[in-house]
Amino acid sequence: MSVEWYLVVSALVFSIGAGGILVRRNPLVILLCLELMLNAGNLALVAFARAHGNQDGHIFALIVMVVAACEVAVGLGLIVAIYRRRLPIDVDELRELQG
Amino acid sequence: MSLQTLGWMVLLFPLGGTVLIACTSQLLPSKLHGLIGTLAIALSFASAVGALLALEDLGEEERQVVTVAWDYASTVGVDAQLSLLLDPLSVFMALVVSGVSTLIHVYSLSYMESDRGYTRFFAYLNFFVFSMLLLVLAGNFFVLIVGWAFVGAASYLLISFWYRRTTATAAGIKAFVINVVGDVGLVLGTYFIFKHTGSLDFLKAFDGAEEIARNDGDLVAGCLLLLVGAFAKSAQVPLHTWLPDAMEGPTPVSALIHAATMVTAGVYLIARMHPFFEQAPIAADVGAIIGCATLLIAATIGLVVTDLKRVIAYSTMSQIGYMIMAVCSFAYAAGLFHLMTHAFFKALLFMAAGSVIAAMAGDQNLDRMGGFRRAMPFTFGCMVIGGLSLSGVPPFAGFFSKDEILALVLAREDWHIVLGVLGYVGSFLTAIYTWRMIFRAFFGDPVEPARELESGHLYHAPEHTNPATGEVEDSDVGFPGPEHHIAEREWSMKLAMGLLAVGAIFSGLLQVPKVTDVIHKFLEPSFHESRFYEELEPSDGVTWIGLAVGALLALGGIAIAYRLWVKDPARPGAIRARLAGVHGFFVRKWYFDELIDTVIVRPFAMFGRFARDVFERVVIDGMFVGGPAGAVRAGSAAVRAVQSGFLRYYAALLLVGVTGLGLYFLVAAS
């Protein structure tokens, strides 16, 4: 299979993730969408690595996974903290950082 | 010991006394602090005597010794050293200062005994003596200015000594501000001289005096500025208004600082700077005229003031006017001779006044005094000796010194004769106001405190009041504390006053015209380059006529005072009613306070208000602070709108941005 198919799938998943972030208001779902975007990127990296025949992309993909894991840990922690303080679980309501 | 060592010791003892008293103020009993302070000044006086003897051992030509402790700053063009100049003039001043100070310390031992600030008082007093000695022993302008400023600070501290009395603190501030005006004059005057000589050292600067005189006007300007310094320190018109107010301080302070020593610093300064003044005769003439004006103005005010201490204060101003007139007419020895005799009899008068005030339980008003003659015989005797000396009755000290000044001023001829004649008018007024004070305090019917004292009991006021305003104040701070001390009952006060009385009687014999010439001969090495020192010599006729006229005027003045205030006590009231305008003018002190208030204080206050309301609020606050702040605020308001707080909005912006960037590179690459 040529690399294009992989890239099409990757772009599709990325767009689904991005769209999800833009339209959904639940932070949990937004985190899931972020994961989709990251994994779309991973797919593209691995595909390119295979196409070029070297290992750089694989290593990059591993590092992205580590980052994703950390991000999820932090993100879920924040969501738990929001829940504990009985704040609305809705990113549109949580807007105290406005200028 | 060498002369140099002794010179430094004169300074070190009072400094050590100050530090020791200040550091042990909580450790030792306060009684001991008085003794430490007195001992320090006595040792300083002993060192000054030693310095005098060491100086006498040197040859006539070598009697100008400079000793340098260390270089403070020594670079190209500046030579700031800690140096002393030991010559007859400085040693003479050191002797007068430390000698009178010793006696006043002895007097204060009892007089201030029940004051709660006893320790503080002696620490301040020692600090003052140190500063004054630094001033007179200074070997260059740098040390002179330091001593000059220290003396002003010490004066401020001692005037405001009773710091809970509002009139005292106000008087202290007034004195300090006017003294700072003088400091500025001195520093600027120094600059004009330093600019040309390039040396701060006195002797080097004196050598360049003729050089500077050739530079149009700079020397005159410098000398006039030095005169401003001298006038502020020596309470000459129009910078004199602080001196009468300074009487808010304790009486020993008035005796020491505001009569005998500090206020004569201006006379010393002019005498010290004589090479410049002789090259700039215009400045010297200005000084002589101002001195003459001051002696008359102060004498007229002295005639009408009813506050015992202020009468003596105005008399001090007047006598310093004589000295300034003398040194500015180049009669240096006469001026300094009068400085010495004045230190004796004026300190004596103040001490006697302090004793009377103690007997009155703090009241200083002459209107409420009378008849103390029998109750206080010793104080009365001292007051009479001081009064005779001050009014210039032969053979008391003031007679010889004042008449020598006037004879030498007359010997300058030209218009100086006018000054001399006015000086005689002043000496006539001096006799009247001095004896008015004495007759009113000691003659007439005994008042209540005098009667109580005669029966052996010292009068105590039912409540403490401020002598200036009459308002009731607490007894913690301010005269006289729980106990009062009068000379009749305290040996230390008696000792100090007795010794000063001896000085006030006999010190005139040092320089009797045509007979003795001690002061003049002794000071000669300090004035060896002066053109006038030897030449200025009144003719025999002027001398004898002057002496006779002086004695007659003094006796006449006393006789008039006797007629007015003892023989016919109703007469002064009648005269006052007839001359109400003149009397009011004198009582308001020639409106000098009002004049300074209108000409200087109010415009400055107005300018200050203008600066606060217009400059500060509009220019600084509005333009310099408000301008940039407003610009930043407006700018940030525009940028702030972007920060909406919507997470999804940020995400969308990010996506659009990244997509846009990606598209740009794609387009650019193809």
From A27's Cα to the closest Cα of chain B, the distance in A is 10
Is A25 at the interface with chain B, CB within 8 A? yes
- Residue B235's nearest CA partner among B310, B331, B304, B126 is B310
State whether B655 and A98 contact (CB < 8 Å): no
Percentage of residues of chain B with pLDDT beyond 90: 42
Q: Which domains does chain A have, with CATH numbers?
A: 3-84 (1.10.287.3510)
Element (H, E) at B65: strand B65-75
User: What is the per-residue DSSP string for B115-126?
Assistant: -TTHHHHHHHHH
Which DSSP state fits B66? E
Task: Identify the residue whose tokens are 């000098």.
Answer: B592
Note the pLDDT of residue B203: 86
Closest to B305 in 3D by CA, of B356, B257, B247 = B247
Is the minimum CB–CB distance between A16 and chain B shorter than 8 Å? no
Q: Closest Cα of chain A to B604: distance in Å?
A: 48
**Is residue B91 over pLDDT 80?**
yes
pLDDT band at B16 (very low <50, low <70, confident <90, very high): very high
pLDDT digits (tens, 9 = 90+) for B506-523: 988 888 888 888 888 888
Using CB atoms, pick whichever of A21, A97, A99 lies closest to residue B648: A21
Q: Is the distance from CB of B478 to CB of B463 less than 8 angstroms?
A: no
Q: Would you place residue B480 in the very low, low, confident or very high pLDDT band (cuts 50, 70, 90)?
A: low
Question: Which residues of A are less than 8 Å from B641 in CB distance?
Answer: 99
- For residue B86, the cross-strand partners are B65
Give me the total of CB pairs closer than 8 Å, taking one residue from chain A and one from chain B: 34
| Coil, helix or strand at residue B569 | coil
Radius of gyration of chain A (CA): 17
> B275 pLDDT exceeds 70?
yes
**Does residue A21 sit at the B interface (CB-CB below 8 Å)?**
yes
* The pair of three-digit structure tokens given for residue B490, joined into one six-digit string: 């305290």
B489-500 confidence digits (pLDDT tens): 888 899 999 999
Nearest to B88 by CA among B397, B519, B535, B537: B519
Distance from CA of B625 to the nearest CA of A (A): 24
- The answer to whether A94 faces chain B, any CB pair under 8 Å, is yes
**Chain B contact for A91 (CB, 8 A cutoff):** yes
Q: Does B666 touch chain A (CB under 8 A)?
A: no
- Inter-residue contact B350 to B263 (CB < 8 Å): no
Query: What's the whole-number mean pLDDT along residues B609-626?
Result: 88
Predicted confidence (pLDDT) at residue B478 exceeds the cutoff of 60: no
Mutate to test the interface with B, among A7, A87, A91 (most CBs of B within 10 A): A91
Cβ-Cβ contacts under 8 Å, A99 against chain B: 639-645
Q: Can you list the alpha helix ranges (DSSP code H) found in B112-165? A: 118-137, 141-159
Taking residues B357-376, what's their average pLDDT? 86
Pick from A22, A96, A97: CB nearest B651: A22
Other beta carbons within 10 angstroms of residue A29's beta carbon come to 14
